[in-house]
Amino acid sequence: MKVYGLIGYPLGHSFSKKYFSEKFLKEKVNDSRYENYPLDDINKLTAVINDNPDLRGLNVTIPYKQDVIAFLSEMDVTAETIGAVNCIKIYRDGEHPRLKGYNTDVIGFRESLLNMIGNERPRALVFGTGGASKAVLYGLKELGIDYKVVSRKKREEIVSYDDVTEETIKEFKLLINTTPLGTFPETQESVEIPYDAVTNEHFLYDLVYNPAETEFLRKGRIKGAMVKNGYEMLILQAEAGYKIFCE
Give the active site residues.
Answer: 65
User: For the stretch 156-189, what's the b/e string if a residue is b when 16 or more beta carbons lie within 10 angstroms of its beta carbon?
Assistant: eeebeeeebeeebbeebbbbbbbbbbbbeeebee
Distance in angstroms (rounded) separating the CA atoms of residues 33 and 245: 12
Cα–Cα distances (Å) from 89 to 1, 58, 100, 172, in that order, read 16, 7, 5, 38
Contact 183, 132 (CB under 8 A): no
31: exposed, middle or buried (Cβ count in 10 Å: 0-12, 13-18, 19+): exposed
Distance in angstroms (rounded) separating the CA atoms of residues 218 and 228: 10
Cα torsion 139, 89, 11, 128 to 10°: value is -20
